[in-house]
Chains A and B, each alone.
Chain A
Amino acid sequence: MHDTTDWTEKYRPCSLGDIVGNTSAVRQMYEWAKTWTPQSKPLVLYGKPGIGKTSSAYALANDMNWEVVELNASDQRTKQVIDRIAGSSSTTGSLSGAQRKVIILDEADNLHAHADRGGARAIVDIIAHSRQPIILIANDYYGLAKELKKVTEPVQFRALQARSIAPRLRYICSAEGIACPEEVLAAIAERAGGDMRAAVNMLHAAAIGRETLQAGDIHTGEKDERSTIFDLVAAVFGKRGDEALLKVSYDVEDTPDTIEQWIEGNLQHMPDFASRARGYDSISRADEYIGRTYRRQYYTLWRYATALMLLGVADAAGGHGIHGRITSPERWGKMSRSRRQKAIRTELLRKLSRETHTPQSTLREEFFTAITLLVEQDPARAVREFDLDADELTLFLHDKAAAAKVVREVAKEAKAAEKKETASRKKTGKTKAETDPPKAPEDAKRPDVSSGQSTLF
């Protein structure tokens, strides 16, 4: 009988001690598990694919002798489903005699907006009611629903170094009885781009049916395209002929819009400003074709975009070559920042709209200036009234440090007020439900607001 198991499953680490790299994340998980009480916050393990998040969660459960209940994006995660599966396991003890049951919620950043209606809400509820440990797993921390971030503790996983991937591959080779030279292992580790699972898969795919591996055997398994997009950028500035240049672009499996960003990001390598301007000219023309391609859904136009940006920029560069480093497009960093800004703005509008019973579009178009003025006048009050966080307040104040300070102070006040109230409640013997919700100390912070302005609207 042949062994048909997937190596990534077969060699999934059983214990936290076997996890490669990410020592501080592993330590954080271990500490959390050791000191776990029903009051502990659930963990969110986040980071790129294939670097050990799911494995660590399972390894931890194994080490602690916890039973595992898993829910992932391939399951439907509406509120009812989560309630049914995790809800029962989160409040009741385990039958199998294991000490506890850990609920692992994979792909928590992938709650589908429609098919998983109420999913994030349900998870928050489960977290609130659970008497069992919960671990959430996500690729993109920013993709996580805000209410989830509030009630969880983040654990960051980082991409692995090639030099820490190689020893694991060596171990697998010896366990499988495969002879593989060191440089081949190093090459696989390098190509995997920090992704352990990709590395193990590459090794597996190359090793099936072989007993020895040579350098040529792994060529099909390349995961990362960066090496070739770098080649393409270098070729554009180099002396290659037109056909050869376009051929490199076919090898790079990136779409013209990505290639365009890379070339534009490296136009500073042009010999002089006139050539740089000509380069921009070609790229902007190519960009027009890309826009037309998408607008018209007419993909034939892509080839003109590719030809114009490659041949046009190459013509402007005149085979000058690149003297310096090829850099990845700077705009991407900015884009991810602006995506985050957008997420914050959306959340803010949602909050304001709920509090003021006004449609978001109306708020955005007609009231935003007015709100901004009011918030600037008394930021602390706005924070209290709309439950703003530092990011949201920064949108109004344009001063990160000041916004953070205001939010901190309001939080401190609220805590003090709560303490005072608990004390007075003890005195009067009232239950919490009967008391008013904690109020911020009014006398301290709102001196010159006239009664007509009792709310912001």
Chain B
Amino acid sequence: MEGNHTIWIEKYRPRKLADIVGQTDIVVRLQSYVKSGSLPHLLFTGSAGIGKTTAAVALAREFFGDAWQMNFREMNASDERGIDVVRNQIKQFARTSPLAGASFKVLFLDEADALTTDAQAALRRTMETYAHTCRFILSCNYSSKIIDPIQSRCAIYRFRPLDREAIALEVERIAAAEGLTVTKDALDAIAYVAQGDMRKAINALQGAAILSAAIDAAKIYEITSTARPEEINDLLNLAVGGDFEGAERLLDDLVRGRGIAPNELITQCYRTLVKRDMDRGLKVELIDALGETDFRLSEGASSEIQMEAMIARFVLAAEKYT
């Protein structure tokens, strides 16, 4: 199959707005822009892998049809963050007239929050001056990093992290196209691993598909080097229950036996702890222990010592609260 060599996140990136999952409200509004032929400046905010770029490209395709590539340009602001990029490249694109009978062009500026404040200041008037030839779609992770005058010029759309249903829908679509079988447990595992990020979900699926066409939860956890949620729960139960040796053995098994990175374990522990029903004071202490360990690891400390010390801190903290 020739498709095995392409990256699925590109191969299966939705071409049409209607195919974007999990952002229904936004998609409906964008479709009505297409229908009416009118478009304000837009600001897309939200975390990675939830459809901002896909929506911008699909919008351009539907707006301009075959001429979309002539009238659409994508720039990444984190590559060129200075004021010159606004004064030269962006202005150059914005000022030239649209092609093939389109009434305006669209400039998609990805990671616009990476632009310096000066560059953003220069951008704001460009957006207005060339509004008759060019519309801007800005995307960013945090809208608070976009200066007010620009926010004031845009219609703001907040993309939400994708829920399990949205992820499952897309994964099943791809699985059907690739002739894979995916169990329900595997879908849960993919949703757990992805954390609302479709890119992660599709990468996990593609990775597992290399191992086998029949995909179950074990393959997903294996290919993504992730511990199962139950295992993380066991680890926490052992430590909070005061069984240091037991927790240490499980930790060793996960890190050395299964090759799960200490950082990944910390992240999983964090996610589990936040949801866990337990004394709030103890929870705060445990999270603090995680954070301290995470920090020390980032400083280059030895992961074996730090992880064991973390478990020991867990045990000690739990004793105070029983």
Contacts and interface: CB of A to CB of B under 8 A. Distances in A.
Contact of B121 (A5, A110, A298): A110
A218 to B, nearest CB: 10
B174 interface: no
B93 interface: no
Interface stretch (B25-33, B51-59, B178-186, B238-246): B25-33
Contacts of A298: 295, 298
A261 interface: no
Q: In the complex, which of the residues B38, B142, B280 has the most CB atoms of chain A within 10 Å of its own CB atom?
A: B38
Contact of A301 (B29, B145, B294): B294
Contacts of A301: 291, 294-295, 298
Interface stretch (B124-132, B214-222, B301-309): B124-132
B284 A307 contact: yes
Contacts of B295: 289, 292, 296, 298, 301
A197 B127 CA distance: 13
B103 A4 contact: yes
B319 interface: no
A311 B283 contact: yes
Contacts of B35: 209
Interface in B101-122: 103-104, 118, 121-122
Interface in B266-296: 267, 270, 274-275, 280-281, 283-284, 287-288, 290-291, 294-295
A112 interface: yes
A167 interface: no
A73 B156 contact: no
Contacts of B313: none
A223 B146 CA distance: 11
A220 B156 contact: yes
Given A204-B155, A307-B284, A209 B274 contact: no
B84 interface: yes
Contacts of B145: 255
A220 B270 contact: no
B284 A312 contact: yes
Contacts, number: 173
A315 B281 contact: yes
Given A4-B104, A74-B123, A311-B283, A253 B45 contact: yes
A8 B36 contact: no
B153 A112 contact: no
Contacts of B259: none
Contact of B87 (A74, A220, A242, A243): A74
A346 B240 CA distance: 55
Contacts of A360: none
B215 to A, nearest CB: 29
Contacts of B280: 242, 311, 314-315
Q: In the complex, which of the residues A4, A8, A49 has the most CB atoms of chain B within 10 Å of its own CB atom?
A: A4
Contacts of A242: 274-275, 280, 283
A4 B37 contact: yes
A225 B294 contact: no
B152 A195 contact: yes
B156 A222 contact: yes
Contacts of B15: none
B158 interface: yes
Contacts of A73: 118, 121-122, 124-125
A410 B103 CA distance: 62
B154 interface: yes
A300 B84 contact: no
Contact of B144 (A4, A219, A258): A258
B48 interface: no
B158 A9 contact: no
B86 A254 contact: no
Interface string A209-224: 1100000000111110
A72 interface: yes
A385 B154 CA distance: 51
B148 interface: yes
B152 A208 contact: no
A48 interface: yes
A8 B291 contact: no
Contacts of B270: 303-304, 307
B39 interface: yes
A6 B144 contact: no
A139 B288 contact: no
A308 interface: yes
B241 to A, nearest CB: 21
A106 interface: yes
Interface string A4-22: 1111110000000000000
A32 B283 CA distance: 65
B76 interface: no
B199 interface: no
Given A208-B39, A222-B156, A243-B274, 15 more contacts: A2-B103, A6-B40, A48-B148, A201-B153, A209-B33, A209-B38, A220-B157, A223-B152, A225-B144, A243-B275, A255-B144, A300-B294, A300-B298, A301-B291, A307-B287
11 contacts: A2-B36, A4-B103, A106-B125, A110-B121, A209-B38, A220-B25, A223-B152, A289-B291, A289-B295, A298-B298, A303-B270
Interface of A: 2-9, 48-50, 72-76, 106-107, 110, 112, 115, 139, 195, 197-198, 201-202, 204-205, 208-210, 219-223, 225, 242-243, 246, 250, 253-255, 258, 282, 285, 289, 292, 296, 298, 300-301, 303-304, 307-308, 311-312, 314-315
**Nearest 3 Cβ contacts at the A-B interface:** A304-B291, A205-B155, A209-B32
